[in-house]
């Protein structure tokens, strides 16, 4: 089949009955729920872009293996142009959501592509796992499947290993091996967009300890597999608020969910790792799934930071405060943070590494630097928007006030901006800024930037360890050697 349309995606969603729980209520049809409908349409638009002549050649390609047109996120990069083709896709899709949706289908497509092009890793443990992965990749690619993922354990007692938790199946684990597959029980989080996806893939960040064997697994399943409960967090919007009042929250909220597996059956052909602590811990660092999706995240993060920068600049301009030096310096700082991320991204693309298998990976140090810096730069961007918007961010009238003839002259008089900026333009801008910086929606976006890629503190620690292992600190050696030589010569001279 290859690339799907938005309509095909929605039809697929409506044909299934995943067990979705929202606010204590079981949801029969996600599309019929106000909370989900607009986000579904936003994802559908991305699928439609694959058929739009304006974008098609920049976000899709003809698959060499099948002759069908498929998304660029399924391209295994073998040359610089492939990396560029993926980068173009990431940019075009993230601009369509202003970077506010982090788990658009490309993110996990890239992850699966990376796993499938590195099956040498799985084959070391069991060639069947590698074969399953390749078949799964082909299934996702050829049917344009939309995936969610859940890679961390519930946050109960982080001081204890999986096998030490009070209930042996708090963290997802294998209950039973059957002739035709595994039975799994327990929970995983934090599955963003789960209610409106087609399938879920489970794997883990490193961290399993000896004794955790039954938890050390990786597999994929359709999202409507019996026994799989999708428990949604409280929505940040109700799906009914006006687009005028909530221009972002009304459109782009990504629901996050806890996945609870109540003795769920996983057929063998969907198992990628079975009860192997070493394989589960090394999957992330060895198969490129740390780096290849970081390319998507880096591009998306840049788009989101650039969007925040634009909002801040326009906000300041709309009320004529960008002539003040304190405001200018904050905006200048924001523009420079965008430039720093942009530069890192370009360096990562040009300074790619080639694996022994011939796969290109964007430079890991600059991408990891983006991962380390965005959790600081994005919250700072939000702080700048809040500082510049000040009380005005809270004081906007509602769209309905503009429609009331008695109130219209009042809002026009007291909400007009600097010369040339109408009351409506100014209020819309402030509402955009408040959605991004103040609303529950905006706070989630902030928390996403801090944690979507794992704990930034531990990541920085790993980054330092890796750096220390590879870096030769040659200049220190040269400086010491040089000084020592000169010292010896001086001694000889004296
Ligand atoms: C909005 C959002 C969307 C997300 N989407 C997804 C998704 O789609 N799929 C998915 O799988 N995950 C997703 N993530 C989850 C993400 O993977 C985790 O949030 C991240 O890995 C951090 O784990 P945690 O939240 O459980 O925090 P914890 O690991 O519990 O950390 C809590 C605090 O304790 C500290 N801490 C904990 N353990 C240690 C330790 N061993 N050493 C030192 N310090 C420690 C941390 O520094 C942190 O300050 C998402 C997260 C957010 C916020």
Query: Within 13 A of 206's CA, how many CA atoms are on the CB side?
Result: 14
Residue stretches of the chain with pLDDT short of 50? none
Q: Is 55 in the pocket of ligand 1 (CB under 6 A)?
A: no
pLDDT at 182 (0 to 100): 98
φ, ψ dihedrals at 204, nearest 5°: -140, 155
> Could you tell me the two tokens for 362?
């964007």
Residue closest by Cα to atom 31 of ligand 1: 455
Ligand 1 centre and the CA of 151: distance in Å? 10
* Cα distance between residue 200 and residue 117, in whole Å: 19
Query: Does 103 contact ligand 1 (Cβ within 6 A)?
Result: yes
Q: How many CA atoms lie within 13 A of 203 on its CB side?
A: 27
Ligand 1 atom nearest to CA at 103? 8
The residue among 293, 300, 258 whose CA lies nearest residue 448 is 300
The protein residue whose alpha carbon is closest to atom 4 in ligand 1 is 452
Residue 148 alpha carbon, nearest atom of ligand 1: 8
**Cβ–ligand 1 contact at 457 (below 6 Å):** yes
Residue keyed to tokens 């704990």: 455
Q: How far is ligand 1, taken at its centre, from the CA of residue 61, in Å?
A: 35
**452 CB within 6 A, ligand 1:** yes
Q: Ligand 1 centroid vs 454 CA: distance in angstroms?
A: 5
Which residue's CA is the nearest one to ligand 1's atom 53?
448
Tell the residue number behind the tokens 């890629």, with chain if given.
Answer: 453
The answer to whether the CB of 256 is under 6 A from ligand 1 is yes
| Contact partners, residue 316, CB within 8 Å, separation at least 6 | 322, 327, 331, 388
| Ligand 1 contact, 107 CB (< 6 A) | no
Give the number of the atom of ligand 1 that is nearest the alpha carbon of residue 454: 21
d(CA 92, ligand 1 centre) in Å: 28
300 lines ligand 1 (CB under 6 A): no
Q: How many CB atoms lie within 10 A of CB 428?
A: 17
Query: From ligand 1's centre to the CA of 439, what distance in Å?
Result: 22
Beta bridge partners of 27: 20
Choice from 170, 190, 257 to test ligand 1 binding pocket (greatest atom count within 8 A of CB): 190
Give the distance (Å) from ligand 1 centre to CA of residue 362: 24
Q: How many Å lie between the centroid of ligand 1 and the Cα of residue 375?
A: 13
Ligand 1 neighbour 150 (Cβ under 6 A): yes
157 lines ligand 1 (CB under 6 A): no
What's the pLDDT tens digit per position in 344-398?
999 999 999 999 999 999 999 999 999 999 999 999 999 999 999 999 999 999 9
Other Cβ atoms less than 10 A from the Cβ of 128: the count is 15
User: Hey, which residues does 179 pair with through a beta bridge?
Assistant: none
Tens digits of residue pLDDT in 237-250:
999 999 999 999 99
Ligand 1 contact via 489 beta carbon (within 6 Å) = no
Query: Looking at ligand 1, which atom is closest to the CA of residue 158?
Result: 38
Encoded tokens for 114 = 């990376």
pTM of the model: 0.96
Task: Tell me, in angstroms, the distance from the centre of ligand 1 to residue 152's CA.
Answer: 7
The per-residue pLDDT for 490 is: 87
**b/e 187-207 (16+ beta carbons within 10 angstroms → b):** bbbbbbbbbbbbbbbbbbbeb
Atom of ligand 1 nearest to the CA of 193: 8
């Amino acid at each position: 089949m290859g690339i799907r349309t938005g309509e095909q995606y929605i039809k697929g969603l409506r044909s299934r009955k995943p067990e979705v729980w929202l606010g204590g209520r079981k949801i029969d049809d996600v599309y019929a729920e106000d909370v989900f409908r607009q986000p579904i349409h936003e994802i559908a638009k991305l699928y439609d872009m694959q058929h739009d002549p304006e974008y098609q050649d920049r976000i899709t390609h003809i698959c060499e293996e099948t002759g069908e047109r498929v998304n660029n996120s399924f391209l295994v990069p073998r040359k610089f142009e492939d990396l560029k083709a993926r980068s173009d896709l990431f940019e075009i899709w993230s601009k369509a959501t202003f970077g506010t949706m982090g788990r658009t289908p490309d993110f996990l497509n890239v992850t699966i592509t990376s796993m499938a092009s590195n099956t040498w890793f799985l084959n070391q443990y069991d060639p069947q796992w590698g074969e399953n992965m390749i078949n799964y990749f082909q299934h996702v690619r050829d049917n344009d499947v939309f995936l969610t993922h859940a890679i961390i354990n519930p946050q109960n007692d982080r001081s204890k290993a999986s096998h030490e938790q009070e209930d042996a199946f708090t963290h997802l684990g294998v209950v039973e091996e059957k002739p035709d597959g595994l039975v799994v029980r327990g929970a995983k989080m934090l599955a963003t967009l789960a209610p409106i996806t087609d399938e879920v893939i489970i794997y883990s960040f490193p961290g399993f300890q000896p004794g955790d064997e039954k938890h050390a697994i990786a597999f994929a399943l359709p999202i409507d597999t019996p026994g799989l409960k999708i428990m949604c967090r409280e929505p940040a919007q109700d799906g009914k608020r006006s687009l005028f009042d909530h221009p972002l929250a009304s459109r782009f909220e990504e629901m996050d969910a806890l996945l609870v597996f109540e003795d769920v059956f996983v057929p063998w052909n969907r198992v990628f790792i079975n009860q192997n602590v070493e394989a589960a811990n090394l999957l992330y660092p060895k198969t490129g799934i740390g780096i290849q999706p970081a390319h998507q995240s880096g591009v998306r993060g840049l788009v989101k930071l650039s969007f925040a920068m634009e909002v801040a600049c326009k906000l300041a301009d709309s009320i004529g405060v960008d002539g003040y030096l304190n405001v200018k310096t904050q905006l200048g700082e924001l523009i420079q943070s965008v430039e720093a991320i942009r530069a890192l991204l370009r360096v990562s693309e040009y300074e790619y590494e080639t694996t022994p298998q011939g796969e290109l990976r964007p430079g890991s140090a600059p991408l990891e630097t983006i991962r380390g810096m965005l959790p600081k730069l994005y919250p700072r961007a939000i702080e700048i928007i809040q500082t510049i918007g000040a009380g005005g961010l809270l004081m906007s009238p509602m769209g309905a006030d503009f429609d009331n003839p008695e109130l219209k002259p009042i809002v026009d008089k007291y909400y007009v901006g600097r010369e040339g900026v109408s009351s409506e333009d100014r209020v819309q801008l402030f509402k955009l800024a408040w959605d991004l910086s103040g609303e529950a929606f905006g706070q989630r976006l902030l928390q996403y930037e801090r944690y979507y890629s794992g704990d930034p503190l531990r990541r920085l620690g790993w980054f330092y360890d890796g750096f220390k292992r590879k870096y030769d600190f040659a200049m220190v050696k040269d400086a010491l050697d040089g000084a020592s030589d000169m010292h010896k010569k001086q001694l000889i001279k004296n």
